[in-house]
Amino acid sequence: MTIRLRFAPSPTGRLHVGNIITALRNWLFARQQGGRMLLRIDDTDLARSTKAFEAGIEADLAWLGLRWDDKANQSARFAAYEAAAERLKQAGLLYPCYETEEELDRKRRIAQSRGRPPVYDRAALSLSAADRAALEAEGRTPHWRFKLSGQRRAWTDLVRGDQSIDTASLSDPVLIRADGGYLYTLPSVVDDVEFAITHIVRGEDHVTNSGVQIEIFEALGAAAPALGHFPLLVGADGEGLSKRLGSLSIAELRDEGLEPMALLSYLAKIGTSDPIEARADFDELVDEFAFDKIGRAPARFDVEELKRINAAVLHAMTYETAKPRLSVMNADLGERFWDTVKANLSVFGEVDAWRRVVEGPLQPVISDKAFTDAAAALTPPGPYTLETWKPFVDAVKDKTGAKGKALFMPLRQALTGMEHGPDMAALFALIGPERAKARLEGRTA
């Protein structure tokens, strides 16, 4: 049997971190098992779904390196949903209901006032053909509910272990709205059957839905896939994350300079028993994935921790990996430059500031003109190497009597315009004699 999983976003907005942790766990398991991934675009809501958002979803997944094997759009599959709905109607499992939202709300409030759960009372099942005709003559159009068995449905969850849902405690779910539009449940089950999905991995907010969906699978003559439900993400403060929080959209994280591997490393490990550390490539995450590592407590998403992982990814990045991006930025000054500055990067784009430090032009920061003039007079001729810095500093120390911070800080400020940064021996060798002398003299170079 081929393992098949799916990721099913709706093209009504951009992907956010809550989407991606779901996508990632599906991808990791599929790749680990030699399976296939289906990208299913849930665009049955024709009014809100757009091709622009669909393209954005594909771009975000491609940026992360999450490549799908197959793709389907639900908007192209209405005939399949209509056929399934007709089967359920013929079986007496999908029945028309005519209550308005106001009437349903009133029923719920009455039930609650009497200490009963607000479960739909199935009044529509007692309507005669004449009753239905009279309601439709009034201009009412039915919504369609799936008739639950009232039995307890059990499964062994990939994350949560043994689970069960008493369907007698649930209202018969609406599968088709009065306007003829499909809610998520029926199209999802139909697609899972027809695309031979073997495993459904999603957030625990779908646990209750699982009892309903198991019954729909059975009603359509299919076995339900294996199910796995993991805790939802919360913020660093423990509060729930808004799915539409712009600062956590993948597009915005990308624009802020986050590395794909940093985001994948972080999302693969939060909420698990593994340490949260940067990984070199996707294959490492695949090898380390296991459902039994996922905890039951909500995973905390901390942007600051993600930034730490991002820095770690950059610090470990080889020159060969960085070279194409350095070239695009006109910042490829060679392997020695990259190895010198990468440990000081929090996002890749910061490399351009260090290119300017090396190549100029740079306006030096002069805090003690007499000191830097003395240092300028002592700059050795080129070429400079890693060994040039120490004899130069020793000479400046002997000449000026400065030591410690009073010696090193004015030199760093004049040569780099900054108070912190990479090892000065390496930077000094890259800056070279002409620019070093000019900057120590206070000239832009």
pLDDT tens track for 125-172: 999 999 999 999 999 999 999 999 999 999 999 999 999 999 999 999
Radius of gyration of the chain (CA): 31
The identity of residue 276, as a single letter, is I
DSSP character at residue 292: G
Rounded Cα distance between 101 and 219, Å, is 27
Residue 1: what pLDDT? 84
**Average pLDDT for the chain:** 95
Both structure tokens of 27: 């991808």
Question: What is the per-residue pLDDT across 23-76, written as a single tens digit (0 to 9) for each?
Answer: 999 999 999 999 999 999 999 999 999 999 999 999 999 999 999 999 999 999
Rounded Cα distance between 335 and 386, Å, is 14
Q: Which CATH architecture has domain 369-440?
A: Orthogonal Bundle (1.10)
- Average pLDDT, stretch 356-381? 96
Rounded Cα distance between 200 and 197, Å, is 7
Confidence at 248, pLDDT banded by 50, 70, 90: confident
- Structural domain spans, the chain: 319-359, 369-440
Predicted structure pTM score? 0.91
pLDDT for 274 beyond 80 = yes
Confidence at 396, pLDDT banded by 50, 70, 90: very high
Helix (H) or strand (E) holding 165: strand 161-166
CB neighbourhood size of 50 (10 A): 14
What is the SS3 assignment for 99? coil
pLDDT for 245 beyond 80 = no
